[in-house]
Each structure stands twice: as structure tokens, then as C-alpha cells.
Amino acid sequence: MKYYYCMNILFGFLVLFAFGCTETSTKSDSSKKTVNSDIQSSKQVVASPMTTSYQSDSITDSRDRETYGVVSIGNQTWMAENLKYNSPGSRLNPNNPSTKYGRVYTWMAAQKACPNGWHLPSDSEWNELEINLGMLNNDTGATTWRGNHGVKMKSRSDWAEDGNGTNSSNFNVFPGGHYFEGKFNDIGYTSGYWSATGNIDNNLAWVRFIAGPIKGVNRIESDTEKSELFCRCVKD
């Protein structure tokens, strides 16, 4: 009798355990469906950072035969290097330790500097990239240092004061500084990039800055008449 009693108790525990596992699995599957539904229904979130893949390749600019690494992140394809095309309204810093830093451009010059089939990214296209690298969707409109994804974009070398990144995105941001009011500034500490989104009437355009040991990316407005920044092209 004791044997059958014990077996009944054991069987009861097994049933409860199996039911608990089934319920947990059901909740987990339901949660995944909800998350996927939210991603697909959102106009801002383009891809889940957890599933974003980074694929590298290269292109050659037919204008000067300069070859650039390119990287596909989410649904976008970006140049993985700063533009070097010697167009009117651009300049190369003679003190750069390497031409791999690229040229800086006026905002107007940057609008037309990218090769055929590529263009200067808009503010929203920069946001899409940043979301794919882990920035929160709620930060798209913020004018501040946002997220921790700048570390993924920075090169593994050349940054001062322990500011090197992991470059896990293969975006290869080197600290070329920026040009402001007639001189180059902050080589080794920052890198500034134009977007195509601006207001010609008030001489301001949205830009992105990546800096030193700071982990995030800064979205601010810059003076289009006094500033010259780097240009990253995104595929049409």
C-alpha cells in the first residue's frame, strides 16, 4: 500500500511539473509574438538590435578610382570609411596622421559629394542606423548624447585617453576631429558627420558627433557656414 501511495504522489508532482513547463513555454512564445508585432508595427524601429547582422564589402568610386569598404547594417548599406573625394568645398587636414581620416566638407558640398548611387544620409537615416546599433527608439528626437552604440562604431585605434571603440559594427569611425571657424579641432578626440537635413534659412543642419571615451552618439545642430565635417554616404 505504501508503495502505491508513494507512486501516486510522485505522479502528481510530475503532472504539476509538466503543466508548469507548458505554461512557461506558452507565456514565452506569447511574449516573443508581442515583441515581434511591436517591431513590425513601429514606423521608427526598423530592426531589432538583437538580430541585426553586419556584412562588409567594398566599392570603387568611378570618379577617382578610390576604393571604400562598405557595410550593410539592417536594411541600409553605408560606406565604412569617410569620403575622400576631392570636390570643391572640401579639404584634407595636412596634419592628419593618415588620409584614412578622409576629407571634411562644407554642408552644401556634402550634398553633392557622394558617388552615383549613393547620397548624404538624412537625419532619419542616421536614426535608423543608430536604432539598428542599439539606440532606443525614444531617443530619436533627443539633442544630446544618446545610447552606448558609439563604442560599436569607433575604430579600435587612434582615439586619445582610452577612447578606442570595439568597432563591432565595422563602421570604422576614426577621430579626425572637425573644422570650425577656419581651423581643425579635436583630432584624436572627436569625429563629426553631416546629415542632409537642415534649414538653409537659419544656417543649421543636423549632425552626429562621436567622441573620446563617451559611449554614445551626439545629435546636435551645427552651423552650415562655419563648420566643415566628414561625409558618410549611404546607398540609394
- Residue 24: predicted pLDDT: 35
- Residue 16: predicted pLDDT: 32
| Tens digit of each residue's pLDDT (9 = 90 or more) over 212-235 | 999 999 999 999 999 999 999 999
> Distance (Å, rounded) from C-alpha 146 to C-alpha 220?
11
Percent of the chain with pLDDT over 90: 72
pTM score above 0.85: no
Q: Where are the domains of the chain?
A: 1-41, 54-235
- Residue 54: predicted pLDDT: 83
The answer, yes or no, to whether residue 53 has pLDDT greater than 80, is: no
How confident is residue 134, by pLDDT bands cut at 50, 70 and 90? Answer: very high
CA atoms within 13 A on the CB side of 134: 14
The distance of Cα 15 from the centroid of its chain, to the nearest Å, equals 49
> Distance (Å, rounded) from C-alpha 38 to C-alpha 32?
10
List the one residue out of 162, 164, 186 whose CA is nearest residue 176. 186
Q: ∠ CA(73), CA(32), CA(14), 5° rounding?
A: 140
Amino acid residing at 105: Y
How confident is residue 185, by pLDDT bands cut at 50, 70 and 90? Answer: very high
Please answer whether residues 126 and 208 qualify as being in contact, where contact means their C-beta atoms are separated by less than 8 angstroms. Answer: yes
The distance of Cα 76 from the centroid of its chain, to the nearest Å, equals 10
How confident is residue 51, by pLDDT bands cut at 50, 70 and 90? Answer: low
Give the mean model confidence (pLDDT) for residues 124-148: 97
More confident position, 130 or 52: 130
Average pLDDT over the chain, rounded to an integer: 82
How confident is residue 188, by pLDDT bands cut at 50, 70 and 90? Answer: very high
How confident is residue 177, by pLDDT bands cut at 50, 70 and 90? Answer: very high
